[in-house]
Structure 1
Amino acid sequence: MKEFFSIEGPFMQFFGKLWDIILLSVVFCVCSIPIITFGMNCIALYYTVVKVVLPGERHAVRTFLKMVPRNARQGLPLGILFEIIIAVLTYSLIVILHNDMGALGVFFGVVFVMLFMIVLVVMAYAFPMSARFENTIGEIVANSAFMALEHWKETTSLLILQAAFLVGMILIVYIPPIILILPGAIMWMQAKLLEPVFDSYLKEGGANHETETI
């Protein structure tokens, strides 16, 4: 029992990681107020979760803040790309829902919802991949699409996580404390799903000569 509650025991380890997730979630949300920085913040958050939170290391917030500017060159345009695509798809869906287009509206509604889901899945792979591998933006998007098809079980779970994140963002209006854990917890679960996938490519020598940057 004494070892259970010691600094290195599972009890303190759990609450240490929980505290890191809370701090990272708050800092992530503050840094993402300028919405164009969302992409590079996601990359920095994934890196921090993998390198600090999962192994139980210290200085999670310091690591995150250090990685944000380092990821600006690639994370900024990648994030803006996804934001533009999502904005266009969302606007298209709103137009369809507010116009009585009959069967044609149903058809295009289904098409845009499917496209929206595809974008969410590719995005779920792309930001972690940017933290894990050194590639061009085009290669990241292409490899993300490939992995999404190749690892369909993980992709299904990632899609559920993305949906949970979107629902959580809506619920923040009604239950503000959700913001204290949502981003960090979602990224922690993504890392649990994606790290075995990424490690399998590293063991094989990497797809498309990918180079690990972590």
Structure 2
Amino acid sequence: MSRFFNPDNPIMEFIAKIFDLILLNLIFIFSCVPIITIGASTSALSYVTLKMVRGEDPYIWQNFWKSFRQNFKQGTLIWIFSILVFIFLGMDFYIINSQNTTLFAVIRMLLWCVCLVALSVFLYVFPIISHFVCSTTQALKNAVFMTFGHLPYTLVMLVIAGLILYLCACSVKTFALVVVISGICGFSVVAFIYSILFDRIFKKYEPESPDNIE
């Protein structure tokens, strides 16, 4: 029995990680309540989950708050920019959907491609600003570069996001299930899975002496 409660026991480590993810999820949700803080909260979520993936500093609240404060301005600017981009794309869809010509059908397909690229860039950019010290413009450029430079990872992330959206739109029951899971640990678990991918990507760009990494 004493072996079971040993902190180094794989089962206990797994249980501890689950509790950490639940705690992180709750902190993330509460920090997103003002809506305008979603960008900074997302970058902080990525910062903490990447540390969890790498087995580093386990202090959830301290690390979350540290990243939230450091990336508040940058994360908020990118969040507002992302909202404007998707509002613009939504207006384009509204206009195009009112037309039934072959030309507009082609434009609609191209617009879907643009949406996927935009989504991919915003999936990358918040982890980038949480992990690397760079300007907002450079962070967006790096996000675009990584989107296409690591296409297999990008496709995996899009599939995960697409599956979640599909479950939300599939039926009322699956939507409710997604909402319940998201309230418990959904956001942090997805961020943790993404951070496994980001860990492999970011290591390619980290200097041997990480002086420019937070």
Question: Matches of 1:54 and 1:3 in 2, distance apart?
Answer: 25
Task: Return 5+ residue gaps in structure 1 as ranges.
Answer: none
Assess if the C-alpha contact under 8 Å between 1:52 and 1:59 holds in 2. Answer: no
1:178 and 2:163 are equivalent in the alignment? no
Task: Return 5+ residue gaps in structure 2 as ranges.
Answer: none
Q: What does 1:1-214 align with in structure 2 at a 5 Å threshold?
A: 3-52=3-52, 54-55=54-55, 57-97=57-97, 99-167=98-166, 173-175=175-177, 176-179=179-182, 180-203=184-207, 212-214=212-214
Once the two structures are TM-superposed, the CA of residue 57 in structure 1 deviates from its matched residue by: 4.6
Deviations 1:162-206 (A, max 9, x none): 324544666785223121222111111111001121111214789
Question: Matches of 2:131 and 2:51 in 1, distance apart?
Answer: 11
Assess if the C-alpha contact under 8 Å between 1:96 and 1:105 holds in 2. Answer: yes
101-110 vs 178-187, greater mean Cα deviation: 101-110
147-156 vs 164-173, greater mean Cα deviation: 164-173
Residue correspondences, number: 209
Question: Matches of 1:103 and 1:83 in 2, distance apart?
Answer: 29
Once the two structures are TM-superposed, the CA of residue 84 in structure 1 deviates from its matched residue by: 1.1
Question: Matches of 2:209 and 2:70 in 1, distance apart?
Answer: 25
**TM-score normalised to the size of structure 2?**
0.85
Q: Percent identity?
A: 23
**TM-score normalised to the size of structure 1?**
0.85
Question: Matches of 1:158 and 1:116 in 2, distance apart?
Answer: 14
Once the two structures are TM-superposed, the CA of residue 96 in structure 1 deviates from its matched residue by: 2.9
Question: Matches of 2:54 and 2:168 in 1, distance apart?
Answer: 24
181-190 vs 44-53, greater mean Cα deviation: 44-53
Once the two structures are TM-superposed, the CA of residue 92 in structure 1 deviates from its matched residue by: 2.3
29-38 vs 116-125, greater mean Cα deviation: 29-38
Question: Matches of 1:141 and 1:132 in 2, distance apart?
Answer: 14
Name the Cα RMSD after superposition. 2.5
Assess if the C-alpha contact under 8 Å between 1:53 and 1:60 holds in 2. Answer: no
Assess if the C-alpha contact under 8 Å between 1:17 and 1:56 holds in 2. Answer: no
Question: 1:202 and 1:91, CA in 2 relative to 1: closer, same or farther beyond 3 A?
Answer: same
Question: Matches of 2:30 and 2:163 in 1, distance apart?
Answer: 20
Assess if the C-alpha contact under 8 Å between 2:51 and 2:58 holds in 1. Answer: no
Question: Matches of 1:185 and 1:48 in 2, distance apart?
Answer: 12
Once the two structures are TM-superposed, the CA of residue 147 in structure 1 deviates from its matched residue by: 1.5
